[in-house]
Structure formats: C-alpha cells, structure tokens
C-alpha cells in the first residue's frame, strides 16, 4: 500500500518542519528555564476570560481584543473605500482631484503613523469633538487608505487596455466599466497585497493604545504594570494577534481559491 498522495507530497516537508520546530522549542525551553524568571502561566487565563457557574465573562484581554477587532473592521471598510476612491481619482479624475489625491498620498506615506494619530487626537479631535476611538479609526483609515490606493491603482493599471476598449465599444459608461469589467478583474489580482494591508491594519491598531483607547495592547500594558507578568502577558497578546491575522489570511486564501475557480487569465 502506498501512502496517500497528500502525505507523499507534503510528508518530507512536514518532517523537516517538525524537526525544526522541535529544536527551536527545546532551545526556547532551555533559555526560559535558565532565565531567572518566575513563570506564572496559570494566572493568564483569568485575564482572558472567566467561567463563573457556567457564565462566560470576558477578561480585560478579550475586552481589548473586541475593541481591536472593532477598530480594525471599521478602519478596513473606511480605508478600502478611501483607497479605491483615491485610486480612481488619480487615474481618471480631473487634474485638481489628481493633485489632491497625490498630495494626500505623499503626506500620509511620508510621516509616521504615530504622529498622525497624535495630530488627529490632540489637534483635530477637540475641534471636531471626536472621541479617542473615532480619532484612532480615522487616523488608521487615512494611513492604510493611502497604501490601499496604491494597491488598487496598480491593480487597475494591470488590466489590459483592450478590456476598457471592449467595454467602451459596447457602449458601457465609465462607472459600468469600472464596476463590471475592471474592478472584478483587478480585485482578484490584488487580493494578496490587500490582505497584507489588512494584516498591517490589525497590527497598527495597537497604536490606538497611545491615545487611551483600551484595545488589546493597551490592556496588556495595564495588566503587566499591575502584575509584572511581563513575558506571559506579552506572549499571550502576541498569540492573540497571530490568531487574528492568521484567520484573516486563511479566510482570504480560501475566498481567493473559490473566486478563481474556472477562471484563468488569458492574455488580453
């Protein structure tokens, strides 16, 4: 009996991976044991959640995660819309809109995100009476939107000229051409870099903690300050981020596979 195809194909790689993971694990364990640090992992679950007589109560870390997810989801929607509009303005808007779009991109991409968050929170939010949460969402959307717009632009520009011409020749107007012809093809092509951008967004949302938004990193910081469980808490926080970003990447991966079923790229 020969082993199943999956094992034959992935087996050798899997063995190598397990060996490497084992060695790294041993090294890590060895280092941890020789570190003069009183590990108290048993205290960590209580900060994640508690089960009291079967009633689930989220702890500060999970509360923080919800805020992080909230910021990320809102910023993702906003930054994608902002990115798409900026890209389209740059490509087919009037000259004034192109200059405006370009100025926005350069300003946002050439200054640190942290400064942008501070600027929005300390300078603009009193004027427009924005909450810390709203300031964080806005700053992240503006920042990631600039990068998303460059991704959209490259995707749109990668669609062959013939597709525009065929749509025009059939009498489609430019909105119909974008919505029905260009964007469906462009989005399939840029799904991987867009996912990378969404992952960055998840991680960058940690900066919202600097303006007193109680998201995951901020909660971690508070617990560490209270308990000195430095390593346990930060490892846990990192693990939670990893779980979120990995879920995101995997979801998009499967979406992409489904979207591309039966669809291949022919030239032109």
Partner 1 sequence: MPRPEKTLGPEIIKALEMTKTFANGVRALDAVSLSVRRKEVVVVIGPSGSGKSTLLRCLNGLEDIDSGEIMIDSIKLDGNKKNRLAVRKEVGMVFQSFNLFPHMTVVQNINLAQRLVRGKTEAQALETTTALLEKIEMTDKTRSYPAELSGGQQQRVAIARALAMHPKVMLFDEATSALDPETIGGVLKVMRNLALEGMTMVVVTHEMGFAREIADRVVFMEHGRIVEQGKVEQFFQNPQKERTKVFLSQIL
The residues binding partner 1 (CB under 8 A) are 160, 162-163, 165-173, 176, 180-181, 184-185, 188, 262-268
Q: Which is nearer to partner 1, 2 or 173 (CB)?
A: 173
Contact 39, 229 (CB under 8 A): no
Q: How far is CA 203 from CA 72, 106, 124, 161, 198, in A?
A: 9, 22, 24, 37, 9
Shortest distance in whole angstroms from residue 168 CB to partner 1: 6
Shortest distance in whole angstroms from residue 163 CB to partner 1: 6
Angle at which helices 95-109 and 132-157 cross, to 10°:
120
Shortest distance in whole angstroms from residue 167 CB to partner 1: 8
Contact 209, 218 (CB under 8 A): yes
Shortest distance in whole angstroms from residue 260 CB to partner 1: 10
Contact 61, 217 (CB under 8 A): no
Q: Which is nearer to partner 1, 49 or 164 (CB)?
A: 164
Q: Which is nearer to partner 1, 96 or 264 (CB)?
A: 264
Shortest distance in whole angstroms from residue 174 CB to partner 1: 9
Q: Which is nearer to partner 1, 45 or 184 (CB)?
A: 184
Rounded Cα distance, 172 and 162, in Å: 14
**DSSP symbol at 132:** H
Q: Which is nearer to partner 1, 40 or 176 (CB)?
A: 176
Shortest distance in whole angstroms from residue 194 CB to partner 1: 17
Q: Which is nearer to partner 1, 28 or 184 (CB)?
A: 184
Pairing outcome for strands 49-52 and 55-58: antiparallel
Q: Which is nearer to partner 1, 129 or 173 (CB)?
A: 173
How far is residue 86 CA from its own chain's centroid?
A: 19
- Name the one residue in this structure whose structure tokens are 């964080």: 136
**Helix H or strand E segment including 49:** strand 49-52
Rounded Cα distance, 55 and 50, in Å: 8
Rounded Cα distance, 8 and 2, in Å: 9
Shortest distance in whole angstroms from residue 72 CB to partner 1: 29
**DSSP symbol at 111:** S
């Amino acid at each position: 009996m020969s082993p199943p195809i999956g094992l034959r194909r992935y087996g050798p790689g899997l063995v190598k991976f397990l060996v490497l993971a084992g060695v790294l694990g041993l090294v890590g364990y060895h280092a941890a044991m020789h570190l003069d640090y009183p590990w108290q992992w048993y205290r960590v679950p209580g900060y994640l959640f508690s089960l009291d007589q079967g009633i689930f109560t989220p702890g500060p870390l999970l509360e923080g995660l919800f805020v992080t997810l909230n910021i990320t989801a809102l910023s993702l929607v906003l930054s994608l819309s902002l990115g798409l509009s900026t890209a389209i303005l740059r490509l087919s808007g009037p000259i004034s809109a192109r200059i405006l779009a370009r100025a926005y991109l350069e300003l946002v991409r050439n200054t640190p995100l942290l400064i942008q968050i501070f600027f929005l929170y300390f300078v603009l939010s009193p004027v427009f009476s924005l909450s810390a949460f709203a300031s964080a969402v806005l700053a992240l959307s503006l920042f990631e939107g600039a990068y998303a717009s460059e991704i959209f632009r490259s995707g749109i520009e990668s669609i062959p000229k013939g597709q525009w011409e065929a749509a025009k020749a059939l009498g489609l107007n430019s909105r119909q051409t974008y919505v029905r012809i260009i964007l469906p093809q462009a989005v399939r092509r840029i799904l991987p870099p867009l996912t990378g951008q969404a992952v960055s967004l998840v991680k960058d949302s940690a900066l919202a903690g600097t303006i007193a938004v109680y998201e995951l990193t901020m909660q971690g910081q508070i617990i560490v300050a209270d308990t000195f469980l430095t390593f346990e808490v930060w490892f846990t926080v990192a693990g939670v981020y990893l779980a979120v970003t990995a879920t995101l990447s995997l979801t998009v991966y499967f979406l992409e596979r489904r979207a591309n079923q039966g669809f291949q790229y022919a030239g032109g």
